[in-house]
Structure 1
Amino acid sequence: MKNIHYLVIIFILLTAFTCEKEHLDFEKYGSVSGIILDGETYTPLEGVLVVSNPASTSTITNSEGAFVISKITNGDIAITARKKDFLTNSVSVAVYEDENTAINFFMLKDEREVGSVYIYEPVPGNGAVDQRSSFTFTWNVDQENKSKELDYTVYLFESNSTVQTIVGESLITNEVTVSDLEANTTYYWYVVAKFEGHNVANSPTWSFKTATDFE
């Protein structure tokens, strides 16, 4: 009888080990690295807290503005950057098994507090593909203090680029048209809200990819 009990216990342990092994094998990991720059001076930002979500992994940029998160579960994640006296910025990226995803993005100084300003619902949507060489960006804004008249500046840069282009400045409407984009290229863009010339909020950094061929 005791032998039967021992066999049952061994069977349970082996089953648990097999399930755990399968669970471990199911988890696939990649990595994310990048450089964070001051969006106005293009100098590297040291001491930026970089957090991934989901995964809740964090790190700090070095003197060259660089960071590496070496083990992230594959899939779509958000990378958020925070630093005192700067507007928080975030970018959504795709992480692939055994591959490194390289990103560069920019942070702007928080120059004046004007209550909560939330910029959302971009068009094209984040991760959009097959975009034309010319089209119109749009976005929505939720503003706590509507008595403050805001204007918007829109920044655009190519994947892995450390140089960005202003495609719209001092805009009083939530749209801007871009043109002459390169084919088969991944672009990132974000919107900065300003009050009386001072940065008060920025959107997440969104991405899209242009079509392989423009007809």
Structure 2
Amino acid sequence: MFFKLWPMFKTALPFKLVSFLLLFGILVSCNEDTVEPMGEGSIAGTVITAETGEPIPAASITTTPATTAIVTDAAGKFLLDGIPGGDYNVSAKKNGYKTEAVSVAVMDGKQKQITIVLGRSKDTNSVPNLPAKPSPAVDATNQPTTVTLKWQGTDPDKDPLTYDVFLYEPGATQKKKLAEGLTDTSFVATDLKYGTLYLWQVVATDEIGGLTNGPVWSFSTLPLPDTRYLFARAVDGNYDIYSSTGTEAGIFKLTSSFAREWWPVISPRRDKIAYSSNVTLDPQIWIMSRNGADKRQITTVPVAGYHNLGIGFAWSPDGGYLVYANYDNLYRIDSDGANLRLLAKAPANRHFRMIDWSAQTNRIVVQTIGSNINDSEIYTMNADGSDMKLVVNNLPGRIESPSYSIDGNSIVYTRDIDGFESKEGRQLNAHIFVQKLDGSGVIDISANKPAGTNDLYPRFSPDGSKIIFVNTSNDGISQMDIWMVDALDGKNRVKLFSNASMPEWK
């Protein structure tokens, strides 16, 4: 029997022994790793403003879980001492500021350093003071067309400020924002118009969003100099209109649209300038004051036709209306855009193009052109479109730019004397010619021009002694410059303006 139980005994004994030893080990282990209490620590902190970083005194400090409620001292500092170890949210609160909290873990015998940043509440924020001390002074006169606008800005809460600057003319339907979000108290306004009253205003905003609209101040610019010259100039491929006293230094920009604006023609009264603009896609006639103000479109039927991108129109001698080309139609329209009516029809298969009107004879000279740019003739007619007479035949080479002499007895025009004709319209040797209306007395004004160049767009000076014109290389891609020359014999060629075309001189 004993021998039958022995194998079982041998199996059970080790199992009980192992269990006992394991239990003993666990008890011993628990005794060695007993958790110690976290003890006490402290939290030292500073409360500052979000806007300037300055300390905030007398801010209430509380914790979650609750410990001791205290306030910051004059330097914005506080100390929570003897706090049981653990995780806390420390909150800072003061009237006029948003309440903020910081999480911190307190450990035995340790001091934690924290900073609590408070932003001011919009409910208690003071808006900026009114902008003051403007420069130019209120109602200042004779200011340049580039002027530095200055002002003084302050805030009751000593907040940093930003500024928006607006500039506009009296009666404007919308203020033009010159600058936005400025941190400086000055801004340079450029491209102002001569002889113009301007209103300007500064809007101040603090970091909390408080906003103050400043007073509306005013100043006026210098009177427009005596600018008797007009021309178009291309900058970065975009044409605008300029006026000048006769020197490069005395040039003033009159238009600044994204559109192509060119072919300026001043009225006989010298108070308005007509020009063409494709701001509405089709080239239309616009009118502005001599200083570039009061721009308005007067046509809805475009200046267009064969090889015509808005270059065919002229003032009536009294300045009351204009005539202009629209395909095979020659229209008359009042200077205010009213009373459009047909004056004449071009010969068959031709369109009207460049035009001038003599104040002395009250007759119109006009170029007609076919679909081929080299197919050109020049006619004259009465102011009502009657009595149309051919004065320059369709000669070899391009013929264009007819304009009257001061007495109305002669015309000036250009012709490529080499007779070169390409479908693109390139000219090799365009000369300026003056001739009587009956075709006699032809004078070649360009006999002394540089070889390899073209003389283009001629017009007589106001006293008739000079001709103003464009000279450019015959490569068709080079810069155009404006020159003048003696009208009698083509001598004394003098360059007036660089990078300039389509001259007008009244």
Q: TM-score, normalised by structure 1?
A: 0.45
Tell me which protein shows more helix as a share of its residues.
1
Q: Which has the larger radius of gyration?
A: 2
